Structure formats: C-alpha cells, structure tokens
Amino acid sequence: MFLFSLLLLVACNNFGELELLGTLSKNLEEVSGNEVVTGSSLIWMLNDGGNKSKIYGVSKKGKIVKDITIKSKNNDWEDLTSDDKGNLYVGDFGNNFSKRKNLAILKIKHKDLFSSKKIEVEKIKFYYPNQTKFPPKKKKLYFDSEAFFYYKNSFYIFTKSRVKDKFGKTTLYKIPAKKGNHKAEYISEFNNGKEMVSWITSADISKDGSKVALLSPSSILIFSDFKKDNFLSGKVKRITFNNQSQKEGICFKDTNTLLITDEKAHGLGGNLYQLKID
C-alpha cells in the first residue's frame, strides 16, 4: 500500500517541464504575482483582491522569510514588476467586470523592502481611453488585467478578456512610470485562443530585453525579435503545460530561467516552480 501511494504521488506530481521548487505557505494560497528584484535575495509575491495589503519575501524553496504591510487597499492586486534600481511595483488593476475607475500601479521604494513597519506607497493612476462605459456591454469586456512589466521608464500592461469565445485576446498598453493619471497608449493585440485556459495571467521581460513571457493556465508564450516595444510582434514560441492549474505569476530568474507560481484551488497548485527555456 505504501509503495502504491508513493507511485500515485509521483504520478500526480508530473508537472511536465516544470521543476517543483517548493510548496507555498497558506498565506499565499491566492498568490497572483512574483518578481525577482535587484538587490534582494528573496522572491517577492502577493495575493489578489480580498486578501491583506501585504507583500511577501519568499525563499527559493517557497518559504516566507518576510512580509511587509502596505498603506493601500488591496482592491485587486494582480502582478508585480521592478525597475533597475530595485523599486517594486504592484499592479492594482484587476477588473473582473470592467467597472473600476481607480486603476493604479503602486510604487514600493527599494529601501522599504527591508522595513519592518507599515509603508507608504506612491500611486500611479491610469485609464483606458477606449473605455467609455463602466461596465461596458458583455461583448466589450476587455478591460480586466493581471499582467504587466517595467521596461525603460514605462509600464506595459496586457489585458485579460472576459468576452465569451475570445478569452485569449490580450491588448498591450503603455503608460509612463511616473506619478500622475495617465492615458494608456494602445500598442497592439494578440489572440491566444478561445477558452478560459488561454487567459493571460502574468507577464515579464528578461533583463536584457530580448524575451517577453506571457503566462496562461495552459501555456507560456515566449516572444522574441519584436519591433521596438511592440512585444506582441516578432517570433513566438508556445510551451504547453502537462497540467492546467491556476497559474497566476511568472518572472525571469535569468535570461533562460522562469519562476512560476499557481494558486491553490480544487486540491491543485499552491507551488513555486522553475522552468528552463532556450
């Protein structure tokens, strides 16, 4: 019986190309983003809306080493990114029904990642110029987002479609990485498929700017050889997962290694993974 259980456990934990690094704490069961930050040895993570206004510094085995409380409501935190100076940014732009008018990115100063106090953040606000109704009609529910990254003094936001049979459609917008209320600039769009497993749930760009990774529950899209900052142009490689857990976070550990997290749902997920890419 013990041998049978062991074999069953191994079979159930076949993550394809994903290397399991560790199981996350219960405090991160709804993990929605992860990021490696210059000048910090930890992997930074957050939970999405309805959870505490905290970010978590996690070890390479998935254990929480530090948590920091932020003086800003977790309306719907969905992703993390960072700049070259080690400042960390929270994407507070989850927008399930495209009703929100308070979309924002929260800036956490690098020095505050070492704080033990409740910290202040700078709020960078933005809006989509092509949204005129809150909410729009069901066939125009294109203003949710769970994915963004920082690159050369700008943020690049990838939307998540809530339109039936067009769940894989993502639109790329650009806003400046500075305080203000910015009109998001449309760049381009990409169709990843019709089903919910095609939803874009996180994004990152490699440190050298040569690769962009978009995450969905079923696969990763790796874009390269793009034109300027139209990251959805050029070549695209799809890496399909053997399991379809609720994958919500992705970041580059280095140019050829990705770190991936998934929420714990329906008895699956709640883990930190590593994936080697070409």
Q: How far apart are CA 35 and CA 47, in angstroms?
A: 13
Q: 270: how many CB neighbours lie within 10 A of its CB?
A: 21
Measured in residues, the chain has a length of 278
Instruction: List the beta bridge partners of residue 164.
Output: none
Domain that holds residue 178: 2-276
The structural domain count of the chain equals: 1
CATH number of the domain encompassing residue 92: 2.115.10
Note whether 153 and 176 are within 8 A (CB): yes
Tens-binned pLDDT, residue by residue, of the chain (278 aa): 333 333 333 334 444 489 999 999 999 999 999 999 999 999 999 999 999 999 999 999 999 999 999 999 999 999 999 999 999 999 999 999 999 999 999 999 999 999 989 999 999 999 999 999 999 999 999 999 999 999 999 999 999 999 999 999 999 999 999 999 999 999 999 999 999 999 999 999 999 999 999 999 999 999 999 999 999 998 999 999 988 799 999 999 999 999 999 999 888 899 999 999 97
CA dist., res. 175 & res. 15, Å (int): 36
Q: What is the pLDDT of residue 5?
A: 30
- Label the pairing between strands 122-127 and 180-183: parallel
Q: In the prediction, which pLDDT does 209 show?
A: 97
Report yes or no: 47 and 77 within 8 Å, Cβ to Cβ.
yes
Q: Which two tokens stand for residue 129?
A: 């110029």
